[in-house]
Amino acid sequence: MLLLVWLASGTMSPYAATLKGPIVLPCGYLANIDHIHFKATFLLLDGADSQDWAFSVVLRRMLFPLLAYPAMKLWGFELGGVVTSMLFLLLAFVCFIHFVRRNIGEVAARRAMWLLATYPGITYWGGLPYSYAAIVPCSLFAIMLLWKLNDSRTARSVLLLSLGLGVLFVGYDLFPFFGLAAILIVLRNRMYLKVPLVFVGALIPQMLVWTWLKVFHGVDLRNSNTEPLYAIPLSYLHRPDFSKWAALLSDVPRVGVYNFLFSNFLFLPVLFVLLYGLARWKKQMGLHPVEKMVLCAGLLVFLFNNMAPPYEGWQMRGDWISRLYQPIFTALLLFSARILQSASGWSRGLRTTYLGLFLAAVVLQGLFSAGPVLNNPYAGPLYFRFYKHHPTNRDLGEPDSLARNLEAHGRRPLGFCRP
């Protein structure tokens, strides 16, 4: 996993190299056009003048910058951030595999290890020093906390686990997925009086960060990045243009399938669907309540975004931002690991089928995670379907942008500097 992350750094980071015109850093490495917004979080923590960081639209995502600050201070923003990204991923990886081994079994842990190590959703973000590097590790920690929450019955444990989730939500906007899933789990377990504890615990860390930013640094938390958080709910409160709304609604089924498949780079979702279909056909195993609630939360977020009446500004609907639903990979991964664990007691033919599907998913994921360094011609189009960078502006990125950038800038990970 760490090798693949390193091979997705430098000129080969997909989040930068899938742009038509990425920023070229010293040594010829590539960065996303929002590089300055992410670097601003480091500058704020480093005590720089407000004019150097106040413009940033991602200051609220402070968990990764806080973790990365010592390494960034020592080795610089870019190298220190990537080192922290790799260490954070390693910590989450080890904890998650230990969790799977302890709660599901040894076979499941081994299968999960390979599926996670080759997962392209890690390498897409991991080779850059941005807060997005926290999406995968925070999601892994979040589903582990949800698993514990599902077994909790005391107010104290519910509050503490929710506080843990809240800390993770400071890393990225994961409340709509795991916060909502936590509420659904508590409701499913008929602990209705503990729902406020989930809200309080999940929101306190973020409220503390917002208060710190607003009171001590005068940061305006409403910006172009957060505007959809206001625009989408308000769109439901106004009389819409019904003809435009009908056209949007007619496209929801197609967009739903597209987002499900490409939010997690095709292979893991397809593996999940095939394994789930076989399991139900053989009447073997269904979804665990935690998996079910994470997927339900993802579906509710999707419907809320895509069924909204027409509104102005950035659109959080359509097939341009499949990446928004990446956190559901945790449920897909857990179910796949559990079904592969239970397959050890099934017929030889069924075991062979399951093992073949698993191996195919691992190999294909690896070929695309290492796509830039292998010059895989299909890597760029797959990354493009994960995130098109803009809902309408094709000038920002196209399916062949990755191949063009690699041809222009070469394939060099961090450590191979071009003079």
Residue 356 has what pLDDT?
Answer: 94
What pLDDT score does 419 carry? 72
Q: What is the pLDDT of residue 262?
A: 98
What is the model's pLDDT at position 360? 97
Instruction: Pick 346 or 201 by higher pLDDT.
Output: 201
Average pLDDT, the chain: 95
Q: What is the mean pLDDT of residues 251-279?
A: 96
Say what percent of the chain tops pLDDT 70. 100
Does residue 280 carry a pLDDT above 90?
no
b (16+ CB within 10 A) / e for 123-151: bbbbbbbbbbbbbbbbbbbbbbbbbbbbe
Mean pLDDT of 303-316: 94
Least confident span in 74-83, 101-110, 219-228, 248-257: 219-228
**pLDDT (0 to 100) of residue 278:** 87
Helix axes 242-250, 252-262, angle to 10 degrees: 40
Please tell me the predicted confidence (pLDDT) of residue 347.
79
| Whole-model pTM over 0.75 | yes
Which residue did the predictor score with more confidence, 345 or 23? 23
- Residues 32-69 have pLDDT tens digits of 999 999 999 999 999 999 999 999 999 999 999 999 99
Least confident of 20-24, 58-62, 111-115, 219-223: 219-223
* Radius of gyration from C-alpha coordinates of the chain: 21
pLDDT recorded at residue 282: 75
Say whether pLDDT at 346 is over 80.
no
How much is the pLDDT for 383?
97
Q: Residues 152-172: what's their mean pLDDT?
A: 97
d(CA 208, CA 196): 18
389: which 2 tokens? 């960078």
Q: Which two tokens stand for residue 360?
A: 């195919």
pLDDT at 281: 82
Checking if the pLDDT of 393 tops 80, the result is no
**For residues 161 and 151, is the Cβ–Cβ distance under 8 A?**
no
**Where does the pLDDT of residue 349 fall: very low under 50, low under 70, confident under 90, or very high at 90 and above?**
confident
Q: Tens digits of per-residue pLDDT, 181-190?
A: 999 999 999 9
pLDDT band per the 50, 70, 90 thresholds, residue 397? confident
- Residue 235 Cα to chain centre, angstroms: 26
State yes or no: pLDDT of 342 exceeds 90. no
